[in-house]
Amino acid sequence: MPSSTAPEIVVTGIGVASGLGHGKDSLLEGLLAGRDVFSVLSRPGRQAPDGQTAFMGVEMPEPPDLLPKRVARTAGLGARVAISVLDEAWREAGLDDVDPERIGLVVGGSNLFSREQLLAVRDYANRLAFIPPRHGHVFMDSDVCGLCAASFAIRAFANTVGAASASGAVAVIQAAEALLGGRVDACIALGALQDVSYVDLLGFRALGALGSEKFAGQPGRACRPFDAEHDGFLYGESCAALILRRAGEAGPGYGSLVGAAQVADGQRGPEPDPEGQQRAIAGALAQAGLRAADIDYVNAHATSTPKGDEVERETLLAMGLEHAWVNAGKSILGHGLSAAGAVELAAVLLQMRAGRLHPIRNLEHPPEPGLRWVMGGPQTHRIRHALKLSFGFGGVDTALVLRAPQGENYGL
C-alpha cells in the first residue's frame, strides 16, 4: 500500500449503477439532492410468495443493453449490471490502450445470485430434467469475472473476493496490492450487485439487522443512519467499478488511495467491534502518513442499525475525528452489501471532484455527543483527505484514506 517509498494508486475511471440510475452523473446528482428512491421491493423473488412480507429498499432501473442478445439472455441481472458499470469505467480510463495481459479484475462479493437461484428452483422444481445447461456455470459468482473478461480485454487475472458488506472495499485493497506488487498495470475493483432473495431478507430480519418496523408503509423514511429512530438497514441494489492505476502511469484521476487497512476483528456474526474498527483506521492513517486531524471528511459505513451506528460513532469520536464532516451513502442508496464499499468509494471521489457533500437523509435527531453531520441539504466543502469505512459480517473492518488531486481549482 502507498507509503513514502511505494508508488501511489490513483482512480482513473468510475462506473456506477444504483437506484438513482445508471452512470456516475446520476449518482452524484441524486446524492446531492438527497433523492428518495425507496419503495416496497418488487423484483420477482424479493417478497415471500405467501404475501406475508413487504420488504422495503431500493431497486435500480434495467441496465442498458450492451451485450449481444444471445449472451444477454444467459446473463443474470448482476452480471449485466457489472458489464454496464465496467463499460463506463473502462472507457473513461482508456483501458483499450493498456496491454490486456497487464489488466486484472477483482470482483468483490460472494453468493451474488441467490435471488435467481431461488427463481430457478421455483421454475424447474417439477421439470428437473430440463435445467438449462448454462445453469452449470452461471450460478457461480465467478460468472461475473468470466463475462467481464469475455467482453473486455482483461487477460492478467479475474477472480472474486468475499468479505460480506466490506467486499467492495476489500476488492479495492486487493486491486491496489496487485498494482503495487507489479502484477498488473491497471486493475479493476468491482463491487458486485448482491441480488438477494426474500429468503436472505427473512434471515436478515430474523437476525434483527433489517429495518423497518417503525416505518412500515413509509419506505422513504425507513432508512435513517445515526438518527434516533433508526431500526435497521434497508437493502439497495447497486454496483460499481473503479479503475486503479499507479500514479505517474496515468493522470491524477479522481484522487489517490494513500492508505488502506483491513483487519479481522474476531467476530463471527454481525456484531460490530470498536477495537477492530479503530485498528483499521489507525492502520490506514499510518500508511498514509497522516493524523486524524488531517482527515476532513468521513464516508461512514452507517447502515442504520442502532448498534452499528452507535459503535461507529464511538469509533470516530475515539479516533479524534469529531472535526470531520460525516455523511452516509446508505441513507440514499440503501445497503448494497457486497457493492456498498465500492459504490460509496465512488461517491467519495465524485464528491471530492464536485466540492460538495451529500446530506444524510432522514437524520433528524442526531445522537450526542455528535459528529459534524451533513444534514438537511448538501454542504460545500473542498475535501483534501477523506476516510472511507466499510465493515462486514464475520468480523471484517476496512478503512481507506483518499487524497484529493493537488491543484488550486480541484473540488471547487
Q: Is 268 in the site for another protein (CB under 8 A)?
A: no
Of 131 and 264, nearer to another protein (C-beta) is 131
**How many residues are recorded in the chain?**
412
- Binding of another protein by 365 (CB under 8 A): no
Residue 51 binds to another protein (criterion: CB under 8 A): no
Q: Candidates 43-51, 67-75, 208-216, 314-322: pick the segment binding another protein (CB under 8 A).
A: 67-75
Under the binding rule (CB under 8 A), the answer on residue 133 touching another protein is yes
Which position among 4, 42, 49, 68 is part of the footprint of another protein (CB under 8 A)? 68
Q: Is 125 among the residues that bind another protein (CB under 8 A)?
A: no
Q: Which positions ≥6 away from 382 have C-beta within 8 Å?
A: 355, 404, 410, 411, 412
Q: Which of residues 73, 97, 125, 407 is near another protein by CB under 8 A? A: 73
Alpha helices in 210-305 (DSSP H): 219-222, 274-288
- Where do we find the cell 457533500? 357
State the burial class of residue 96 (Cβ atoms within 10 Å of its Cβ: 0-12, 13-18, 19+): exposed
DSSP codes joined into one string, 199-213: HHHHHHHHHT-B--S
Residue 239 cell numbers, joined:
454496483
Segment 28-47, which members bind another protein (CB under 8 A)? none
Least Cα distance to 82 among 194, 167, 193 occurs for 193
Q: Which is nearer to another protein, 121 or 293 (CB)?
A: 121
Q: At its nearest, how many Å lie between another protein and the CB of residue 130?
A: 5
Which range in 37-45, 62-70, 252-260, 396-404 contacts another protein by CB under 8 A?
Answer: 62-70
Nearer to another protein, 101 or 123 (CB): 123
CB count within 10 Å of CB 70 equals 7
Q: Which three cell numbers stand for residue 402?
A: 483518499
Q: Where are the beta strands (DSSP E) in 360-395?
A: 372-373, 379-380, 385-392
Q: Residue 131 or 199: which CB sits closer to another protein?
A: 131
Nearer to another protein, 135 or 365 (CB): 135
Nearest Cα to Cα of residue 353 among 260, 242, 252: 252
Residue whose C-alpha cell reads 434495467 in the numeric block: 62
Q: Which of 50, 51, 69, 412 binds another protein (CB under 8 A)?
A: 69
- Asked whether position 122 contacts another protein by CB under 8 A, the answer is no
Q: Contact positions toward another protein, by CB under 8 A?
A: 68-70, 73, 127, 129-130, 132-134
